[in-house]
């Protein structure tokens, strides 16, 4: 089961001027958001083929219509307390600098449109996420989203997935 995300410049820019759309997902108790324009599709979780000597958070690779896609378990990457695979577990397929990468998350929530006044700078605190990969904190009502620069996160040296030269 795959959900394809249709993206057009008109759809991404629709609504309030200066607003951006974020796909929101959950990891453990936290909710995150990534730029919808980086998302290619959402798929149910299927165990990938393991690669020898890969870091624990790289679960392996899968064949997606002829393209070999590395699969990163974000729960392991972000040191979440648990990484259970259930019916809600999904893989978000990303297209980053012409490289396709999959990330495993607990569940996908929805697509949210945030204006610049709904986004605050993240406090500079010690965490398992490189602070340069956090765009800010988005708030809508009672919801607080950690907005990630997923391209920067996936191209960090410890990931080894996307070189800065691509």
Residue-wise pLDDT for 47-100, tens only, equals: 999 999 988 899 999 999 999 999 999 998 888 877 789 999 999 999 998 899
128 pLDDT band (50/70/90 cuts)?
low
Question: How far apart, in whole angstroms, are the C-alpha atoms of residue 88 and residue 100?
Answer: 22
Question: How far apart, in whole angstroms, are the C-alpha atoms of residue 125 and residue 97?
Answer: 29
Residue 160 scores a pLDDT above 50: yes
Question: How far apart, in whole angstroms, are the C-alpha atoms of residue 29 and residue 94?
Answer: 23
- Mean pLDDT over each residue of the chain, to the nearest integer: 84
84 SS3 class = coil
Name the pairing type of β-strands 67-73 and 99-105.
parallel
Question: How far apart, in whole angstroms, are the C-alpha atoms of residue 48 and residue 61?
Answer: 5
Per-residue model confidence (pLDDT) at position 3: 53
Per-residue model confidence (pLDDT) at position 49: 96
Per-residue model confidence (pLDDT) at position 103: 97
């Amino acid at each position: 089961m795959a959900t394809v995300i249709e993206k057009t410049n008109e759809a991404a820019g629709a609504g309030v001027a200066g607003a951006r759309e974020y796909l929101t997902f959950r990891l453990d108790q936290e909710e995150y958001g990534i730029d919808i324009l980086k998302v290619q599709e959402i798929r149910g979780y299927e165990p990938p083929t393991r690669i020898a000597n890969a870091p624990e958070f790289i679960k392996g690779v899968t064949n997606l219509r002829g393209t070999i896609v590395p699969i990163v378990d974000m729960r392991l990457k972000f040191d979440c307390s648990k990484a259970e695979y259930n019916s809600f577990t999904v893989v978000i397929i990303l297209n980053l600098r012409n490289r396709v990468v999959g990330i495993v998350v607990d569940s996908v929530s929805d697509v949210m449109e945030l204006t610049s006044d709904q986004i605050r700078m993240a406090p500079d605190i010690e965490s398992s996420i490189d602070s340069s990969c956090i765009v800010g904190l988005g708030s809508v009502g009672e919801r607080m989203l950690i907005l990630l620069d997923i391209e920067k996160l996936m191209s960090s040296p410890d990931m080894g997935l996307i070189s800065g030269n691509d």
